[in-house]
């Protein structure tokens, strides 16, 4: 099969022919119809998560957002068969640990990641382990490109809004109008919240308004917490940081009203290495909640897919372009220059 592989960190991916994957007894092989090029893949290519202990062993095929069709299954797979249209969360789970058993598969004790733990979906075929647990059936109305768009950034933004327990009429301020931020904006709008988008790029802020933000704040030109409190007459009920930068984390927390809820989605980079000082006394006096949010548990997919099928969420509107496998390096170069404005999806191999 054709595949794009990382042979050296920060060097161009190599497009090559490699052996097709073979399923084990509980696995499935999926023909990839669409594969999203996520900034997390770019970070892996840069070895940016080494301080977290997440450094892929090279060579490896990156990619963790996909939609496709089952072509073969292992002898113990019961719920899927060749021809089934599917997607999968970027985090594979075991299905039997206490977290999986209580609906929190995104916290699985044995979690593994496409494109980091093993080969991902920048290829004609991808292996899905524990297929009965990790494959997600697609409704007829959801195509492969939409499925790829859902695969990481959209479902992560969706889960972040769910973690924040966002209610109709509440104000939610979202730091960062990239893929995750725009996905959270769509979701928050769908549940009836009033959304403020914060970014430093006017073009991204314009896109945020198209996706449902009722107000925007350019962080280059404004004191963000003050701007949020002015717009909301007291502060946001919920703040989401989709970036993982010290400044955006603090802007989110400081822009909350009493009893507000902060949701941290963005992972920090090496500069912070996961350590950011917080205004603990103010958070205590104001009963501010701070919670993390990772991916999207398998148990939440039914609700997410039903909202997409009904047209209340539209991940495909965030797709900037459909590209060929050979264009992967061009997209990575654009990511390095921060020139991407949406999801780029491989649809031709």
At residue 46, the pLDDT reads 85
At residue 149, the pLDDT reads 94
Average pLDDT value for the chain: 95
At residue 96, the pLDDT reads 94
- The C-alpha atoms of residue 44 and residue 65 are separated, in whole angstroms, by 14
**Looking at residues 162-191, what average pLDDT do you find?**
96
* pLDDT tens digits for range 196-251: 999 999 999 999 999 999 999 999 999 999 999 999 999 999 999 999 999 999 99
CATH topology of domain 165-292: Rossmann fold (3.40.50)
**Looking at residues 174-192, what average pLDDT do you find?**
96
Residue 257 · residue 235 · CB < 8 Å: yes
* pLDDT tens digits for range 297-349: 999 999 999 999 999 999 999 999 999 999 999 999 999 998 888 899 999 99
At residue 338, the pLDDT reads 85
Structure tokens belonging to residue 306: 């039903």
Percent of the chain with pLDDT over 90: 90
- The C-alpha atoms of residue 208 and residue 342 are separated, in whole angstroms, by 11
At residue 56, the pLDDT reads 87
pLDDT at 288 over 90: yes
* pLDDT tens digits for range 24-72: 999 999 999 999 999 889 888 988 777 677 778 999 999 999 999 999 9
**Looking at residues 254-259, what average pLDDT do you find?**
98
Q: Which of 296, 295, 313, 316 is nearest to 305 (CA)?
A: 313
pLDDT at 78 over 80: yes
At residue 273, the pLDDT reads 79
Give the H or E element holding residue 332. helix 328-336
Within 13 A of 224's CA, how many CA atoms are on the CB side? 26
Q: Which of 143, 92, 100 is nearest to 119 (CA)?
A: 92
β-pairing, 343-348 with 319-324? parallel
- The C-alpha atoms of residue 156 and residue 343 are separated, in whole angstroms, by 14
| E-only strand ranges, the chain | 2-5, 14-17, 28-37, 65-73, 85-87, 91-92, 112-113, 125-128, 136-137, 171-175, 194-199, 215-218, 236-241, 256-264, 289-292, 319-324, 343-348
Percent of the chain with pLDDT over 70: 99
pLDDT at 83 over 90: yes
Domain residue ranges in the chain: 2-154+296-348, 165-292
Superfamily for the 2-154+296-348 domain? Medium-chain alcohol dehydrogenases, catalytic domain (3.90.180.10)
């Amino acid at each position: 099969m054709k595949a794009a592989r990382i042979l050296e960190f920060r060097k161009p991916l190599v497009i090559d022919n490699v052996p097709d994957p073979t399923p084990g007894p509980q696995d499935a092989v999926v023909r990839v119809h669409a594969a999203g090029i996520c900034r997390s893949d770019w970070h892996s290519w840069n070895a940016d998560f080494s301080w977290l202990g997440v450094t892929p062993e090279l060579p490896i095929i990156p990619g963790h957002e996909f939609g496709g069709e089952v072509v073969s299954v292992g002898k113990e797979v019961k719920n899927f068969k060749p021809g089934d249209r599917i997607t999968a969360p970027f985090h594979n789970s075991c299905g039997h640990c206490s977290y999986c058993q209580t609906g929190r598969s995104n916290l699985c004790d044995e979690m593994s990641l496409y494109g980091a733990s093993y080969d991902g979906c920048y290829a004609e075929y991808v292996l899905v382990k524990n297929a009965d647990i990790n494959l997600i059936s697609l409704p007829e109305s959801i195509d492969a490109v939409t499925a790829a768009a859902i695969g990481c950034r959209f479902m992560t933004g969706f889960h972040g809004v769910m973690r924040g327990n966002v209610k109709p009429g509440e104000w939610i301020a979202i730091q960062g109008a990239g893929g995750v931020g725009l996905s959270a904006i769509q979701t928050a709008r769908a549940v009836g919240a009033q959304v403020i988008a914060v970014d430093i790029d006017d073009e991204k802020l314009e896109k945020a308004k198209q996706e449902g933000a009722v107000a925007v704040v350019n962080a280059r030109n404004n004191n963000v917490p003050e701007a949020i409190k002015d717009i909301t007459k007291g502060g946001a009920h919920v703040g989401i940081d989709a970036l993982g930068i010290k400044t955006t984390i603090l802007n989110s927390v400081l822009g909350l009203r009493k009893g507000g809820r902060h949701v941290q989605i963005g992972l920090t980079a090496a500069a912070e290495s996961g350590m950011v000082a917080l205004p603990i006394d103010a958070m205590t006096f104001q009963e501010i909640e701070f919670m993390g949010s990772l991916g999207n548990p398998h148990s939440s997919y039914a609700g997410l897919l039903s909202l997409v099928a009904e047209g209340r969420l539209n991940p495909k509107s965030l797709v900037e372009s459909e590209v060929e496998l050979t264009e992967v390096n061009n997209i990575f170069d654009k990511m390095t220059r921060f020139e991407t404005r949406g999801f780029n999806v491989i649809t031709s191999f």
